[in-house]
Chain A
Amino acid sequence: MGTTIAQIQTIPLQYYILFCSALFSIGVIGVLAKRNALVIFMSVELMLNSANLLLTAFSAYRNDPAGQIFVFFIMVVAAAEVAIGLALLVVVYRSTKTIDINALNRLKW
């Protein structure tokens, strides 16, 4: 266990932060760029996971388990989210016969 942490700590914390930020940004851009709901879900997942990674990194550097515990919670939530998301997707698809989010334009103004 200790060795792992030691190995993790060989990489400076900034790198993790930058990497995670990059990952997060990619997720964001994915959400913005794509009009396919499914892809948007995946991008959101990416955002969540970047956060996970960040938390893990921090906890590893601080020898504080809280962060890693949090990660488990997040995973659970993420799983639930996906489940719900897909369910909704199916429902929407049934009514609009597409998963293009621009098709969602009944409610406006």
Chain B
Amino acid sequence: MYAIITISIVAIIVLFFGAIEKKAPLLPVVYVGLSLAFILNLVGWNQSVHYYNEMYIADNFSIAFNGVLIFTTLLVFIFAPVYYKPVKRPLEDIYALILFALVGSLIMTAFGNLLMLFVGIETLSLSLYILAGSKKFDPNSNEAAMKYFLTGSFASGFLLFGIALLYGASGSMNLEAIKQYVILNQAHMPGMLTIGLLLVAIGMTFKIGAAPFHFWAPDVYEGSPTLITTFMATVGKVAAIAAFFRLMSSSFAEVESIWKLTLTIFAVATILIGNLSAFYQDNVKRMFAYSGIAHAGYMLIAVIALKQQAAGVLLLYSMSYTIATITAFAVLILVREETGTFSIKAFNGLAKHNPREAFAMTIAMLSLAGIPPLVGFAAKYNLFVSAIGQGNLPLVIVAIIGSMISVYFYIRPVIAMYAKLPSGTAAIDSSSNYKKQITLAAVLMILLGLIPGVFVNLI
């Protein structure tokens, strides 16, 4: 709760600084604020506090995920200056919007009431709509924003209607109450509740960008400013999946029969479509969009295999996904700055001049592909095992085949970097702490890969 407040305040301060045309203090303020928020968030660990009669629940689950989200945002902000190097103006609006989006995502992970879920989602989405279009004079950016907006608002329409139906059926929007209601009449579910649940599920599926509601993702990811894409692909996705997980686990765990098959089909479709479509991408940015879709599919497995362990697994997975993706995007930003293209060729011979970036990128790719001993493998491994533990072997087999396919396109940048000759001559220069971050991320991916147990058993 304090985290949310802090961040909101920081956002307002940022806006204020922008208003008085001060560029210098902006980022420091953000850094400090986020770090503060991170710490405040951790306060109250193991004592699940409820705010505003169960509107907002700060239990370990939400705290852990919020930690991840805040940390990710911090990383994004660290990469910001390099990305916005050419821009003169303070960019307070963009920073503030990112912060507000973060607030939305924090609410999503911790909602105790469908109302808060909706509010959180909308806070996140609305901010993202604007951010997606924040390159005002870039038609791609505009188009991305428009597409995102249209599909997004459409989807939230369904979500909302679903919530309404749930409310109608159960008579409450409180997760706990709904759970009670569901337990009471497991025997004969009113059709209204089923429909409501499905609509909500669909809405969430859209937000995490899983098939068959993934179509917006590639276009939006490609069109939006890369930094924003990074934010969307990490914070947006993780928050959505966490919210989805929370919803399902806290209210509808007992009625798997209604939604399990549907979600399984979603997951299978997502994994296959995501990986196969990424297979042929030459545009790396877009490739990451598809890889993001694929990973959404994997995360859905965690939702499907609902048991206590799964929360931890999901946490680990989202961490691995976030770190790897953010590292990859960071390098991508660099390369883009240098070569002006997102094509895979841009990576040719990167290892020659920028060994450190290349190394980080390699680690990220391998981690995403799930090659041991990196965190990506640990995450997948735990995910699959917990899924199998509850008899989802076919699903897991599909997932394995998916990641088999994924190896191919994840390895392509690596090959380009190491085995192809560089096109440019000079090394791409990047600020020193940028380098530090990238290296840190790479190290993290290895370390977490070595001690995944910590996080799996965290919540």
- Indicate which residue in B143, B153, B192 contacts A106 across the interface (CB closer than 8 Å): B143
Stretch in contact with the other chain, from B165-173, B319-327, B344-352: B165-173
Query: By the criterion CB–CB under 8 Å, are B145 and A66 in contact?
Result: no
B interface residue numbers (CB < 8 A to A)? 115, 118-119, 122, 126, 129-130, 133, 136-137, 139-140, 142-147, 149-150, 153-154, 157-158, 160-161, 163-165, 167-168, 171-173, 192, 218-219, 222-223
- CB closest chain-B residue, reference A54: B164
Against B, the Cβ 8 Å flags (1 = close, 0 = not) of A29-69 are: 00100000100110010011011001101110010101101
Q: How large is the interface on A (under 10, 10 to 19, 20 to 34, 35 or more residues)?
A: 35 or more
**What B residues does A59 contact at CB under 8 A?**
167
Known A48-B157, A84-B126, A107-B223; contact A66-B172, beta-carbon cutoff 8 A: yes
Task: Tell me, rounded to whole Å, the shortest Cβ–Cβ distance linking A20 to chain B.
Answer: 8
Q: Which of A68-90 contact B (CB under 8 A)?
A: 69-70, 73-74, 77, 80-81, 84-85, 87-89
Q: How far is the CA of A54 from the CA of B168 in the complex (A)?
A: 8
Provide the bound-state CA to CA distance between A95 and B136, in Å.
9
Which residues of A sit under 8 angstroms from B147, Cβ to Cβ? 104, 107
**Given the interface contacts A106-B139, A107-B219, A107-B223, does A91 sit within 8 Å of B167 by beta carbon?**
no
CB of A26 within 8 A of chain B?
A: no
Min Cβ gap B276→A in Å is 13
- Which residues on A sit within 8 Å (CB–CB) of B136? 91
In contact, B150 and A101 (Cβ under 8 angstroms):
yes
User: What's the nearest-Cβ distance from chain A to residue B253, in Å?
Assistant: 23
B124–chain A nearest beta-carbon distance, Å: 12
Compute how far the CA of A31 lies from the CA of B153 in the bound complex, rounded to whole angstroms.
11
Check if B146 sits within 8 Å of A88, measured CB to CB: yes
CA distance A104 to B136 in the complex (A): 15
Which of the residues B119, B143, B165 comes within 8 Å of A77, measured between beta carbons? B119
Contact of A37 with B139 in the complex, beta carbons under 8 Å: no
Q: Taking the nearest CB of chain A, how far is it from the CB of B302, in angstroms?
A: 29
A-B contact pairs, 22 of them (CB 8 A): A20-B164, A24-B161, A28-B157, A47-B157, A48-B157, A48-B160, A50-B161, A57-B168, A58-B164, A67-B167, A69-B115, A73-B119, A77-B118, A81-B153, A85-B149, A88-B149, A92-B143, A92-B145, A101-B150, A104-B146, A107-B140, A107-B222
Known pairs A67-B167, A96-B139, A104-B143; A81 contacts B157 (CB<8 A): no
- Please give me the residue from chain A that is nearest to B223 by CB atom: A107
Provide the residues of chain A in CB contact with B157, threshold 8 Å: 24, 27-28, 44, 47-48, 51
Name the CB-closest residue of B to A82: B153
User: A92 touching B142 by the CB < 8 A rule?
Assistant: yes
Chain B residue, CB-CB nearest to A80: B126
Among the listed B143, B164, B171, B192, which residue makes an inter-chain contact with A64, where contact means beta carbons less than 8 Å apart?
A: B171
Q: Which residue of the partner chain B has the closest CB to A95?
A: B139
Asked whether B160 lies within 8 Å of A66 as measured between CB atoms, the reply is no
Contacts of B122 in A (CB 8 A): 77, 80-81
CB distance from B226 to the nearest CB of A (A): 14
Q: Which residues of B contact A66 (CB under 8 A)?
A: 115, 167, 172-173
